[in-house]
Amino acid sequence: MGMTMTQKILANKAGLDKVVPDQLILADLDMALGNDITAPVAIGEFRKLGLDKVFDEKKVSLVMDHFTPNKDIKAAEQCRYVREFANEMDIENFYDVGEMGVEHALLPEKGLVVAGDLIIGADSHTCTYGALGAFSTGVGSTDLAAGMATGKAWFKVPSAVQFVLTGEMQEHVSGKDVILHIIGMVGVDGMLYKSMEFAGPGVKNLSMSDRLCISNMAIEAGAKNGIFPVDEKTLEYIAVHSDRKPVIFEADEDAEYEKVYEINLSEIKPTVAFPHLPENTRTIDEVGDIKIDQVVVGSCTNGRLEDMIMAAEILKGRKVAKGVRTIIIPATQKIYMDSMKMGLLEIFINAGAIVSTPTCGPCLGGHMGILAKGERAVATTNRNFVGRMGHPESEVYLASPSVAAASAVLGRIASPAELNGREG
């Protein structure tokens, strides 16, 4: 049997002609990533090795994004610890306040990852870079320490499930709705340690932002990684953002998949994940009347410029409902600047929203929007576990930027279609 995209990348990085599912391999890394929460632990383990340098100063990225600007003394100490390590090791890709962004939006934007790469990150949403035709996955901080030291990591080769996409998405439907639909279909453990490989004629109808969003949430189905084929859109994106040459791997025609799902994008409706799991999905017409207290548009899942534009199209000329706190978080400084130049920030502020510096912020219950007991939020983030955004008796509903913005205006979970005929 032939190999899948993921298996070909892993074989290449391990210096092997072929790999098979469940095989253990030692592979070379193109990037090792840590953030202000996970890197301190990794640095502590790295120190135990007694080394005075990382394997490659250009292939380690440290991004201060979760609790920055620092929310408290502990966060400040953690960032200082990482900052001192980055300076000592001459790490080229260190991003702090003023330069930082949400890591999984920042690395593709900076051109630090391209097709054919193998990336590990001490953050579960490292699987985002599969949108670029790379193999990327989350690891523990100890594995990150070993990766920073040696430039290598051990992997068990995953088996694969293929998702064949056809058709084109309807108005107000985006990549977020697609991945929520899939997670609702397969469950949060349906893809456990498997590679989610996307294919089919529908792929060309997905923007790079859609693909980054879908790959980002592969982990929410339990997957080891999510990956898209490299096409013209991918190559155009890489050419704009990176001077590195991509390496393109294609799945063999006789590649073996455990299962194949066929998904017609035109049949997907705006979708919302109810508390307290991403698999607890309902289409927008099944939601009912659910009042909300807060809306968050941002995160490594939906904080890109395309997401800002989607939210602004809904909020332009409208006001958020009284009593609904609406927080907009551009994922990087560039996205913030581009949004400002396009007049999007003015739209948000005129609508009664606030705009935050780039940060993970409320997504993980960090800061910039913590929920109190009994409060409900609609968020474009990736997880809605118990207590994820604050109090354990609060509730988070996952949705697209369009649904989140419409919900902010109406004060309840709502479809953008409900705003037809209203001001804006």
Q: Give the per-residue pLDDT at 125.
A: 96
Predicted confidence (pLDDT) per residue in 27-77, tens digit: 999 999 999 999 999 999 999 999 999 999 999 999 999 998 999 999 999
137-174 in b/e form (b: 16+ CB < 10 A) is bbbebebbbbbbbbbbbebebbbbbbbbbeeebeebbb
pLDDT for residue 100: 85
Q: Render the burial of 320-331: b for 16+ CB within 10 Å, e for the rest.
A: bbeebbbbbbbb
Q: Please name the amino acid found at residue 271.
A: T
Confidence tier at 259 by pLDDT (50, 70, 90): very high
Q: What is the spatial distance between Cα 220 and Cα 61, in angstroms, rounded to a whole number?
A: 24
Between CA 23 and CA 11 the distance in angstroms is 10
Average pLDDT (94-101) is 92
CA atoms within 13 A on the CB side of 149: 17
Q: Is 296 helix (H, G, I), strand (E, B) or coil?
A: strand
| pLDDT at res. 1 | 82
Of the options 3.40.50.300, 3.30.499.10, 3.40.140.10, 3.40.50.720, the CATH number for the domain spanning 271-419: 3.30.499.10
Predicted confidence band of residue 419 (pLDDT cuts 50, 70, 90)? confident
- Computed from CA positions of residues 311, 336, 211, 208, in that sequence, does the dihedral angle turn out positive or negative? positive
Q: Do 271-419 and 5-264 fall under one CATH topology?
A: yes
Distance in angstroms (rounded) separating the CA atoms of residues 164 and 393: 38
The full set of domain ranges for the chain reads: 5-264, 271-419
Average pLDDT over residues 133-157: 97
pLDDT in tens, 367-416: 999 999 999 999 999 999 999 999 999 999 999 999 999 999 999 999 99
Q: Is the predicted pLDDT of residue 228 greater than 60, yes or no?
A: yes
Q: C-alpha distances in angstroms, 97 versus 65, 208, 360, 384, 397? A: 8, 26, 13, 27, 29
Give the β-pairing of 294-297 and 281-283: unpaired
Provide CATH code, domain 5-264: 3.30.499.10
Q: Is-above-0.75 flag for pTM?
A: yes
Place of tokens 């017409």: 285
pLDDT band at 423 (very low <50, low <70, confident <90, very high): low
